[in-house]
Amino acid sequence: MKKSKISLDTDFVRSQFPAFQAEESRDWIFFENAGGAYVPATVIERLKRFFVAHKVQPYGSFALSRTAGEEMDESYRAITELLHAEADEVTLGPSTTLNFYVLAQGLRHLLNPGDEIVVTNQDHEANVGVWRRLSEFGAVIREWRVQKETGELDLSDFESLIGDRTKLVCCTLCSNVVGTHNDIGTVAELAHQAGALVVADGVSYAPHVIPDVHKLGVDFYGYSTYKTFGTHQGVLWGSRGALQQVKAQGHFFNQSESRYRLNPTGPQHAEIAALAGITEYFDALYRHHFGASSEDRHDRARKVFALVAEHEATLANRLLGYLKERPDLQLLGQDHAEPGGRASTVAFCAANISSAKIERELAERGIGVGSGNFYAHRCIEALGIDPNDGVVRVSMVHYNTEEEVDQLLSALDEILEKA
Ligand SMILES: Cc1ncc(COP(=O)(O)O)c(C=O)c1O
């Protein structure tokens, strides 16, 4: 007998998120997840518990303080295991933008005048501006540019940019407007052959894929937990070898402390303590779909995210199928989603109506999307789109449903017909 295929149970998924039950939010169709996703009850409960029961300086000797520290430690462990990382490879800082800023300061000493840094014009500015600024110290910036028709990056263009002087390559795993998963493994291989370090922005990738960080091939990987169903934090992973090359940026007495070396602000206690709620939620999804398991946390999450990838591709294809048939729309990136090949982050603009107006009209119909350039200013501009109005971005995650996409399509039909 053929084994029935397991698919993601979105009713169960949504039952884990209080936002789908709360009076203020339950009737909204929420498609602005790339700006920050809803959080499951497991995260909210941990955050509340920390604030209610032990909102004290952690790691002291009194019981409340010890518990506060233990809850933070649990989250460090949860994120480390989720990524298949080593404990001393993970920094939890206030945001990816700040983590990359600090990292750039820590890597600056490796650069001599004339050394080159490759940045893209596809990335969010968080993984561009901090590197470009190193030109003030003599670094030469080389820009890997997107293809004008699609917004995608072509590897042959990259090959022509790297050479003996390349010291850093800074590239996104997935643009927050184009959505294509870049072939970061090949980028890293070519960069390493040239002797360069690779900084990969995973902010738009992490809500859709759980990577084994050592297998990505890169030296540094950053993403933001407020977009992956948690509190507002940035995760910065670096391989041990790469981290050894970074100058510590924390206080002098914390230089050997892996959690503090690249986090001069110090850890944000409650926000970190709540992060274990993310893996607790993934585990609940695992148990619901697959039952009990002796697999490790990373493998369990990956199995869940295989279901997520299938579901998100279905959502994306429903929307892409509609958008690509409309001659009045310009679609960014690929017009078809294969699981693992394209994120369910879909951006477009219209010939006859501004992106801001489409956003407003959708909001009037109870559908929350974003519009603008999403700090991918250079990418939007390179595509010939006015970065002030930008694109409409529909960013879907695993708790979104096909019915919600259908409602969006009906609303778009109405809005575009009268434009
Ligand atoms: C692709 C991408 N990279 C980086 C960032 C910056 O992340 P953070 O808000 O944590 O600084 C964002 C935020 O929207 C993003 O979408």
Residues with CB under 6 A from ligand 1: 95-97, 124, 126, 172, 176, 201, 203-204, 224, 234
Using DSSP's 3-state secondary structure scheme, residue 153 falls into strand
236, 220 Cβ separation under 8 angstroms: yes
Alpha carbon of 200 to ligand 1 centroid (Å): 12
Task: Count up the domains in the chain and report the number.
Answer: 2
User: 246, 277, 308: which is the final residue of a domain?
Assistant: 277
40, 277 Cβ separation under 8 angstroms: yes
Whether 231 is in a domain gets the answer yes
- The answer on 125 and 93 residing in a single domain is yes
- The answer on 229 and 321 residing in a single domain is no
Whether 288 is in a domain gets the answer no
Q: What order of strands is seen across the sheet that includes strand 391-395?
A: 329-331, 345-350, 391-395, 370-372
Q: What is the mean pLDDT of residues 121-146?
A: 98
Among 101, 199, 224, which is best to mutate for testing ligand 1, by the most ligand atoms less than 8 A from CB?
224
Task: Look up residue 273 and give its amino acid.
Answer: A
Whether 5 is in a domain gets the answer no
The closest residue, in CA terms, to atom 11 on ligand 1 is 97
Separation of alpha carbons 380 and 45, rounded Å: 39
pLDDT at position 419 is: 87
Q: What pLDDT digit, counting tens, does each position of 356-399 carry?
A: 999 999 999 999 999 999 999 999 999 999 999 999 999 999 99
- The answer on 244 and 128 residing in a single domain is yes
Q: What is the mean pLDDT of the chain?
A: 97
- The answer on 89 and 18 residing in a single domain is no
Please determine, for residue 2, whether its predicted confidence score (pLDDT) is greater than 70: no
Of ligand 1's listed atoms, the one at least distance from the Cα of 374 is 14
* CA neighbor of 214 nearest in space, from 92, 89, 307: 89
User: 219, 246, 277: which is the final residue of a domain?
Assistant: 277
- The answer on 268 and 221 residing in a single domain is yes
Q: What pLDDT digit, counting tens, does each position of 45-101 carry?
A: 999 999 999 999 999 999 999 999 999 999 999 999 999 999 999 999 999 999 999
- The answer on 229 and 137 residing in a single domain is yes
201, 232 Cβ separation under 8 angstroms: no
Q: For residue 173, give the CATH number of its domain.
A: 3.40.640.10
Q: Which domain holds residue 190?
A: 48-277
230, 275 Cβ separation under 8 angstroms: yes
- The answer on 96 and 163 residing in a single domain is yes
Separation of alpha carbons 342 and 334, rounded Å: 7
Alpha carbon of 234 to ligand 1 centroid (Å): 9
Please determine, for residue 1, whether its predicted confidence score (pLDDT) is greater than 70: no
Q: What is the mean pLDDT of residues 227-250?
A: 98
Question: Is the Cα dihedral 291, 292, 293, 299 positive or negative?
Answer: positive
User: 277, 309, 339: which is the final residue of a domain?
Assistant: 277
Among 33, 199, 203, which is best to mutate for testing ligand 1, by the most ligand atoms less than 8 A from CB?
203
Whether 3 is in a domain gets the answer no
Using DSSP's 3-state secondary structure scheme, residue 166 falls into strand
pLDDT at position 3 is: 52
Q: What is the mean pLDDT of residues 274-285?
A: 98
Separation of alpha carbons 401 and 346, rounded Å: 15
Q: Which tokens belong to 7?
A: 């698919």
pTM of the model: 0.97
Separation of alpha carbons 305 and 298, rounded Å: 10
pLDDT at position 4 is: 61
Of ligand 1's listed atoms, the one at least distance from the Cα of 232 is 10
Beta-carbon-side half-sphere exposure of residue 144 (alpha carbons within 13 Å)? 29
- The residues that bridge with 237 in the sheet, in sequence order, are 90, 221
pLDDT at position 115 is: 98
- The answer on 93 and 160 residing in a single domain is yes
Whether 236 is in a domain gets the answer yes
Please determine, for residue 119, whether its predicted confidence score (pLDDT) is greater than 90: yes
- The answer on 245 and 312 residing in a single domain is no
Residue 349: CB atoms within 10 Å: 22
Separation of alpha carbons 282 and 288, rounded Å: 10
- The residues that bridge with 220 in the sheet, in sequence order, are 199, 238
- The answer on 161 and 205 residing in a single domain is yes
Query: What percent of the chain is modeled with pLDDT above 90?
Result: 98
Alpha carbon of 6 to ligand 1 centroid (Å): 32
Give the H or E element holding residue 103: helix 96-107
Q: For residue 336, give the CATH number of its domain.
A: 3.90.1150.10
Q: Residues 262, 207, 36, 26: what is their CA dihedral angle, to the nearest 10 degrees?
A: -150
Q: What is the mean pLDDT of residues 179-201?
A: 98
Residue 281: CB atoms within 10 Å: 22
Alpha carbon of 369 to ligand 1 centroid (Å): 17
Of ligand 1's listed atoms, the one at least distance from the Cα of 123 is 1
Q: Residues 108, 152, 302, 72: what is their CA dihedral angle, to the nearest 10 degrees?
A: 30
- The answer on 235 and 157 residing in a single domain is yes
Q: What is the mean pLDDT of residues 155-162?
A: 98
Whether 313 is in a domain gets the answer yes
Of ligand 1's listed atoms, the one at least distance from the Cα of 35 is 14
- The answer on 98 and 242 residing in a single domain is yes
Among 96, 123, 208, which is best to mutate for testing ligand 1, by the most ligand atoms less than 8 A from CB?
96
Alpha carbon of 215 to ligand 1 centroid (Å): 22
Whether 285 is in a domain gets the answer no
Whether 2 is in a domain gets the answer no
pLDDT at position 239 is: 98
- The residues that bridge with 144 in the sheet, in sequence order, are 120
* CA neighbor of 402 nearest in space, from 293, 294, 322: 322
Q: Tell me the pLDDT band of 314, cut-offs 50, 70 and 90.
A: very high
Q: Residues 200, 204, 208, 212: what is their CA dihedral angle, to the nearest 10 degrees?
A: 10
Q: How many DSSP H helices and E strands does the chain contain?
A: 16, 13
Strand pairing category for 329-331 and 166-172: unpaired
pLDDT at position 293 is: 87
